[in-house]
Structure 1
Amino acid sequence: MTASASAVDMLQLAARAADAKGGEDLVALDVSGPLPLVDIFLLVSGRNERNVAAIADEIEERLLEAGHKRLRREGRQEARWVLLDFGDLVVHVFHDEERTYYGLERLWKDCPVVPVTLDAPATAE
């Protein structure tokens, strides 16, 4: 299986939101093979708890504005690892230390990487 076009669109929107708030080391993995209910994991690092919270808030706000429904949010209070579940897209915003400790890239190393585009989409005039 491969990630759906709508999941890739959500990914690009989330990636641009993360980048706007200083998100670092963005990695997207196509997990649709091993996880039939999810298409893509987006992994993002923040420098500190405040940055992690700001990144997660911006991603959530942009996806909600675009009409995507959030199914679940976890970890916002501590802001060390915030999980945002939008169905086809699950975003993991990590503090650097948690990202290294949990190593989701190692856990899902057999999953293909999905390219992340940080440029804003061109608008028709």
Structure 2
Amino acid sequence: MVLTTATLRCSVEKGITLRTAIEKKAHHVPSTVGMDESNLVSQTFDAALASLENSKAESIIPIDIRGRSTIGDFMIVASGRSHRHVTAVADHLLQALRETGCKDMRVEGLESGDWVLIDTGDIIVHIFRPEVRDFYNIEKIWLDEGFDDERALETVH
């Protein structure tokens, strides 16, 4: 099934994630924009990476999890230097994602600032304080099979 940008926006406004829209076979709505699902996800992914860089997040590791998990297509793991920095990075990222059209995001941990998780449905972003990141070592779990993915090799900062 081909989903258009208009379909995705309608789904987001109704509180349906991209994954749910696909599973429920959302009705096709003609689009004048001409952007398909993968382009929208890619654009959101690039905006998330740019936001993390602009917020001075550290050790940014993007991971392609397509075909390895049903929880999403991409995961991004990053660190902030302190509680305050983690929450500032997360706030900046949430604003950037809203500007790309993401409206139905789930956010956990924003109050504590130790580990913030932002789930857009297709992209999961983890922002940690360094000590918490070292303890959970999430990227090792997802990159355990090797570093084949070129984007996963690119560590920013």
Q: What is the TM-score normalised by the length of structure 1?
A: 0.82
Per-residue deviation at 1:114?
Answer: 5.6
Contact map agreement 1:27 1:113 (CA 8 A) in 2: no
Per-residue deviation at 1:113?
Answer: 3.6
Aligned partner (choices 120, 137, 142) of residue 103 of structure 1: 137
Aligned partner (choices 7, 27, 34) of residue 68 of structure 2: 34
Residue 50 of structure 2 is aligned to residue 11 of structure 1? no
Deviation sequence 1:11-48 (CA, Å, 0-9, x none): 21011111111101110111122212400001111000
Partner of 2:18: none
Per-residue deviation at 1:6?
Answer: 2.8
Question: Which entry has the higher C-alpha Rg, 1 or 2?
Answer: 2
| Pair 96,113 (structure 1): closer, same or farther in 2 beyond 3 Å | farther
Per-residue deviation at 1:87?
Answer: 0.7
- The answer to which structure has the higher helix fraction is 2
Pairs aligned (count): 115
Partner of 1:88: 122
% identical equivalent positions: 31
Deviation sequence 1:72-113 (CA, Å, 0-9, x none): 100001011000000110110111111111001111122754
Query: What is the rounded CA distance, in whole Å, between the counterparts of 1:59 and 1:15 in structure 2?
Result: 9
Contact map agreement 1:50 1:79 (CA 8 A) in 2: yes
Partner of 1:43: 77
Query: What is the rounded CA distance, in whole Å, between the counterparts of 1:114 and 1:29 in structure 2?
Result: 9
| Pair 82,47 (structure 1): closer, same or farther in 2 beyond 3 Å | same
Partner of 1:123: none
Partner of 2:26: none
Q: What is the TM-score normalised by the length of structure 2?
A: 0.67
SS at match of 2:128: strand
SS at match of 1:7: helix
Structure 1 gap ranges (5+): 119-125
Aligned Cα root-mean-square deviation (Å) = 2.0
Contact map agreement 1:28 1:114 (CA 8 A) in 2: no
- The answer to which structure has the higher strand fraction is 1
Structure 2 gap ranges (5+): 1-37
- Higher relative CO (Cα under 8 Å, sequence separation at least 6) belongs to 1
AA matched with 2:47:
L
Query: What is the rounded CA distance, in whole Å, between the counterparts of 2:113 and 2:41 in structure 1?
Result: 25
Residue 85 of structure 2 is aligned to residue 69 of structure 1? no
| Pair 114,87 (structure 1): closer, same or farther in 2 beyond 3 Å | farther
